[in-house]
Chain A
Amino acid sequence: MKNLRFYIPVSVFVVLAVVMWRGLYLDPKELPSMLIDKPLPAFALTTVEGAAITQQDLPQQVFLLNVWGSYCLPCLIEHPTLMRLAEAGEIPVVGVNYRDKQELALRWLDDNGNPFAFSILDEDGRFGIDLGVYGAPETYLVDAEGVIRFRHVSVLDEQVWAEKFVPAIAELRRENN
């Protein structure tokens, strides 16, 4: 009984301390997406180049949906990774050109290279709202059925790719087989 008196407050303290210690290292900017395990919202827009496009035109396999804009500096940081993925043919990357101007987007792709199978032109950010986007860059992992399975907010660099996306994609591809 005496021991219990001592151990209860101590264990409460330890639990609280661990929870709060972990809390110090959480990134408050990483909000959970509401669309995980939900189908990608329907859309009828154009590509940055001007071709009409709907959700029917999306790849029928696991792919990345990358939200970008010509104004977005972090997008330049992750750009080499996206280029490498596209060139190696590891996974199709579809772009969402978010709150941008068509001509600026085209010039950005010209200047920096185009890793995207195509980019959905979302000048007024309306498609972004349906996706729950709050700022470029964001990257969604979509499965072959068009269901969103994972979202990463901010830069997708090689480390994030290796630690988060590679295992998630491997699992999705295993599910399909």
Chain B
Amino acid sequence: MRHTLAVLVENRPGVLSHVAGLFARRGYNIESLVVGETEDKTVSRITLVVEGDERVIEQVSKQLNKQIEVIKVNDITNEETVDRQMLLLKVTADQAARQEILQLMEIFRCRVVDIGRRSLIIEATGDEGKLEAVTQSLRPFGIKELVRTGKVAMVRGPK
């Protein structure tokens, strides 16, 4: 099963390699990893998506906790969360197709951020399901290039 871990770490050089190295040497699989500053400049937050059963995830959390620079590990898989990923997609779009693509993007509330002679760049933000749907809907037109961020997530409510 896929788990989402929110890991608070010290904002220092070398921290990411300590965390990434841990995954490599213990043989855990990272599906995605996003790191960025938090409201506190000395603290970064790593959002990790990891594949594994309960036993594996327990080990991952414990091993992460052992890292000196790791402040807190939260498994937010079963929490009510808001989670977002971003997608940039370059799609083939000649004059004939352009209108149809624009209409589709309207439905998905995506933005067109660049227009070329034969292509468009689409920016989409949302959860995994939405980005999957956007990609599928554009596939028939011809996807020239696609890039996605990992997932960032936040628990809903006052917590």
Does A associate with B in a complex? no
